[in-house]
């Protein structure tokens, strides 16, 4: 019971947990053995003390103890070797003093308690030493275990980090191999960490990859400019001047349509064109050029560019801009001047649309290529003439005449009729003015004649007849007469000169011929209303060079046909000139020359193709 209380006290006092108390290891076993051995020695000495106490108690109990001791004649304790338990020899027993004997009973009562207390103290001390040692050993063992656990965790963590770093490095290498790229930054293993050093480069940065080149948009029925350039190469090889037989042109277009990717070349026509049959291609040529023997392939390229045709005002604006770069009026500009001019089809475009800007740049390059006269010089008049087209061929030819004349011409019948009405009104006003002026002159003449007659009568009465004869004949010198007749004769002569008038017919003719016909009415737009014959021939010769050169035996030439129409439209009241609007709107003009109407008609090749395929 005492040991249990002592054990609990030690555990509580030294804060030794039951787990530490239950630990078994060699050190604790050795320590426990030493404590057990010490307790064994204590027990031996306890037995020795009990033996001595027995002897003393015998002596103190009325001398019985001493007599028995003497009777035996031995001072060794029982147990043989070494006294109690053979542990050692007991001291010699001497007779206690009287004082001791007198206090014997009290001594006998106290001594067992003292022995028990000493035994308890020794046991407690041994147990205390044992438990303190056990606690320290347990603490050391716990610290060792914790240290080992921490060390183990660090080893495991380092191992895991190294494995993870190796996996990352392998994954990085695998991606680099799959992507076929070189590893530029330095790769490092620092301890158990894998990282990429962005500041340490194994080789310089590669040059940035260029942006992918811009390409044109693909359309179903509209030519790309690159496709037109391929066709232009072929056309230049066949007909450098732009004019070729209609059959040759037709065969080239049919071959371009039949070309496919298996031939190893890129397509030369839009995808929708490949659906056209040979018959439909012929119909398309008829729609564009009409029934002709020769065609201008440059007109086909212009129609296929998908570029809007300019209005009359836009055409004249661009012409003025070209003329500003052409001070010598030779109708040519350089390439850098051409590139600096803004065309009508560039004004309403989106500057942020790169594809659209690319197409516009390619269109300008192609136009320069079509109408250049050498590597760096362009004939801008020939280029602008190709854009003199309109849905109404009358307006298209009016654009061409305005381009050549440098001023807009009148093609509208209403405006032209207003001009005629205005001119007739002005002519009538001029004739009335002349008649009024003639009447005034007649009145003045009659008045002058009456005055002269009166003066002559007075002179006859004053002078003799000789003087009168000399005045009539005018052969005598005026100085022979009086001063008065001389002055009168001179005044008469001056008055006659002032009042003399040419015949009425000559006055009318002069008034008619001096009236400028055309541009002075404030109610009419400033247009060219009269059309010179040579202007027509100049424009048609430039627009249709082959028709101007050809001579058909037995048939009228282009010039002769135009002369017939022109002569039929002359007006006597306009000095036998031809009015522009009457010539352009003449039914015989486009009926006799239908290819001229085709030349000045604005068409869209993509619309023609779509119409042919929809009707098929």
> Predicted confidence band at 441 (pLDDT cuts at 50, 70, 90)?
confident
pLDDT (0 to 100) of residue 504? 34
| Among 109, 116, 50, CA closest to 85 | 50
What is the pTM for the complete model shown? 0.57
Cα angle for residues 94, 98, 104 (degrees, 5° grid): 85
How many CB atoms are closer than 10 A to CB 580?
A: 28
Q: What is the pLDDT of residues 444-479, one digit of tens each?
A: 888 888 888 788 777 766 665 544 444 444 444 434
Per-residue pLDDT at 42: 78
* pLDDT band, very low/low/confident/very high, at 514 (cuts 50, 70, 90): very low
- State the average pLDDT over residues 487-505: 37
Enter the DSSP assignment of 342: P
For the segment 476-494, the average pLDDT, to the nearest whole number, is: 39
Which range of 57-71, 378-392, 458-472, 580-594 scores highest in mean pLDDT? It is: 378-392
Is the C-alpha dihedral spanning 65, 66, 69, 70 positive or negative?
negative
At residue 612, does pLDDT exceed 60?
yes
Closest CA to 456 of 471, 443, 466, 441: 471
Mean pLDDT, rounded, for 206-220: 82
pLDDT at 554 over 70: no
Distances (CA, A) of 547 to 262, 355, 420, 554: 41, 40, 34, 15
pLDDT of residue 95: 66
pLDDT of residue 200: 79
The yes-or-no verdict on residue 556 having pLDDT over 90 is no
Q: Which of 80-94, 237-251, 457-471 has the highest mean pLDDT?
A: 237-251
Task: Give whole-number Cα distances, 372 to 240, 378, 406, 432, in Å.
Answer: 12, 4, 22, 57
The stretch 153-177 carries a mean pLDDT of: 91
Q: Could you tell me the end-to-end alpha-carbon distance of the chain, in angstroms, rounded to an integer?
A: 123
Q: What is the pLDDT of residue 544?
A: 86
pLDDT above 80 for 483: no
The pLDDT, as a whole number, for residue 47 is: 78
How far is Cα 291 from Cα 276, in angstroms, rounded to an integer? Answer: 20
Q: CB under 8 Å, gap of 24 or more: what pairs does 367-370 form?
A: 368/335, 368/338, 369/229, 369/232, 370/232, 370/298, 370/301, 370/302
Angle (nearest 5°) at CA 543 between 542 and 549: 65
User: Which of 55-59, 80-84, 303-307, 443-447 has the highest average model confidence (pLDDT)?
Assistant: 303-307
What pLDDT is attached to residue 94?
A: 66
- CA dist 356 and 217 (Å) reads 8
- Mean pLDDT check: name the lowest of 81-95, 168-182, 294-308: 81-95
Whose tokens are 């050993």? That residue is 137
Supply φ then ψ for residue 567, to 5 degrees: -65, -35
Q: Which helix (H) or strand (E) holds 201?
A: strand 193-201
Q: What rounded mean pLDDT belongs to the chain?
A: 78
Pairing of strands 332-334, 372-374: unpaired
How many C-beta atoms lie closer than 10 Å to residue 577's C-beta? Answer: 18
* Nearest-angstrom CA–CA distance, 452 and 446: 10
Tell me: pLDDT of 367 over 90: yes
Whole-angstrom CA distances from 402 to 488, 536, 538 are 62, 11, 12
Residue 183, pLDDT score: 83
| Angle value at C-alpha 321, between 320 and 322, nearest 5 degrees | 90
Q: Are 90 and 48 in contact (CB under 8 A)?
A: yes
Q: Is 189 helix (H, G, I), strand (E, B) or coil?
A: strand
Name the CA radius of gyration of the chain, rounded: 70
Lowest pLDDT segment from 309-318, 337-346, 501-510, 555-564: 501-510
Kindly state the helix (H) or strand (E) to which residue 156 belongs, with its residue range.
Answer: helix 104-179
Q: What is residue 490's predicted lDDT score, i.e. its pLDDT?
A: 37
Angstrom distance (rounded) from CA 305 to CA 605 = 9
Size (the chain), residues = 616
Residue-wise pLDDT for 14-51, tens only, equals: 444 544 545 456 777 787 788 788 878 777 877 777 77
- For residues 536 and 566, the answer to whether their CB atoms sit within 8 Å is yes
Question: Residue 320 — very low, low, confident or very high, per pLDDT cuts 50/70/90?
Answer: very high
Tell me: pLDDT of 232 over 90: yes
Strand-pairing partners, residue 374, are 377
Query: Mean of the pLDDT values across residues 606-613?
Result: 91
């Amino acid at each position: 019971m005492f040991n249990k209380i002592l054990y609990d006290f030690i555990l509580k006092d030294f804060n030794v947990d039951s787990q530490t108390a239950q630990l078994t290891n060699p050190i604790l076993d050795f320590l426990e053995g030493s404590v057990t051995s010490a307790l064994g020695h204590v027990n031996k000495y306890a037995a020795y003390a009990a033996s001595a106490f027995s002897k003393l108690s015998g002596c103190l109990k009325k001398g019985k103890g001493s007599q028995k001791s003497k009777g035996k004649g031995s001072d060794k304790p029982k147990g043989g070797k070494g006294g109690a338990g053979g542990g050692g020899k007991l001291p010699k027993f001497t007779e206690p003093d009287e004082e001791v004997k007198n206090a014997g009973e009290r001594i006998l009562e106290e001594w067992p308690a003292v022995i028990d207390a000493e035994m308890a103290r020794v046991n407690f001390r041994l147990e205390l030493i044992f438990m303190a040692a056990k606690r320290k050993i347990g603490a050391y063992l716990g610290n060792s275990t914790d240290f080992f656990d921490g060390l183990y965790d660090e080893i495991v963590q380092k191992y895991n980090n190294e494995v993870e770093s190796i996996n990352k490095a392998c994954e990085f290498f695998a991606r680099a191999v799959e992507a076929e790229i070189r590893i530029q930054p330095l790769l490092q293993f620092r301890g158990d960490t894998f990282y990429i050093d962005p500041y340490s480069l194994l080789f310089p940065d590669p040059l940035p990859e260029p942006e992918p080149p811009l390409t044109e948009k693909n359309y179903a029925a509209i030519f790309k400019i690159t496709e037109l350039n391929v066709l232009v190469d072929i056309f230049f090889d066949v007909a450098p001047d732009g004019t070729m037989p209609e059959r040759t042109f037709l065969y080239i277009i049919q071959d371009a349509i039949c070309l496919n990717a298996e031939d190893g070349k890129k397509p030369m026509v839009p995808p929708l064109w490949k659906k056209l049959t040979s018959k439909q291609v012929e119909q398309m040529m008829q729609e564009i050029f009409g029934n002709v023997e020769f065609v201008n392939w440059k007109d086909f390229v212009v129609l296929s560019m998908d570029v809007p045709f300019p209005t009359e005002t836009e055409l004249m604006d661009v012409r003025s801009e070209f003329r500003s770069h052409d001070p010598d009026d030779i109708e040519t500009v350089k390439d850098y001047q051409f590139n600096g001019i803004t065309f009508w089809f560039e004004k309403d475009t989106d500057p942020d649309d790169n594809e659209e800007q690319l197409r516009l740049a390619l269109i300008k390059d192609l136009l320069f290529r079509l109408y250049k006269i050498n590597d760096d010089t362009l004939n801008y008049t020939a280029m602008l003439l190709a854009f003199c087209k309109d849905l109404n061929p009358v307006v298209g030819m009016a654009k061409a005449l305005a381009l050549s004349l440098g001023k807009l011409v009148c093609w509208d019948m209403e405006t032209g009729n207003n001009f005629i009405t205005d001119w007739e009104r002005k002519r009538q006003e001029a004739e009335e003015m002349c008649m009024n002026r003639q009447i005034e002159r007649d009145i003045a003449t009659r008045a002058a004649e009456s005055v002269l007659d009166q003066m002559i009568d007075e002179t006859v009465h004053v002078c003799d007849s000789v003087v009168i004869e000399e005045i009539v004949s005018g052969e005598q010198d005026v100085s022979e007469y009086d001063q008065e007749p001389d002055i009168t004769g001179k005044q008469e002569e001056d008055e006659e000169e002032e009042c003399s008038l040419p015949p009425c017919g000559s006055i009318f003719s002069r008034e008619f011929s001096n009236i400028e016909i055309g541009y002075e009415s404030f109610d009419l737009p400033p247009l060219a209303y009269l059309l010179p014959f040579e202007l027509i021939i100049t424009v048609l010769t430039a627009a249709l060079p082959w028709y101007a050169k050809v001579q058909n035996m037995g048939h009228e030439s282009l010039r002769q046909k135009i002369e017939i129409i022109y002569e039929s439209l002359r007006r006597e009241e306009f000095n036998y000139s031809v009015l522009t609007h009457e010539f352009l709107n003449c039914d015989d003009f486009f009926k006799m020359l239908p290819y001229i109407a085709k030349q000045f008609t604005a068409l869209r090749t993509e619309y023609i193709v779509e119409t042919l395929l929809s009707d098929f």
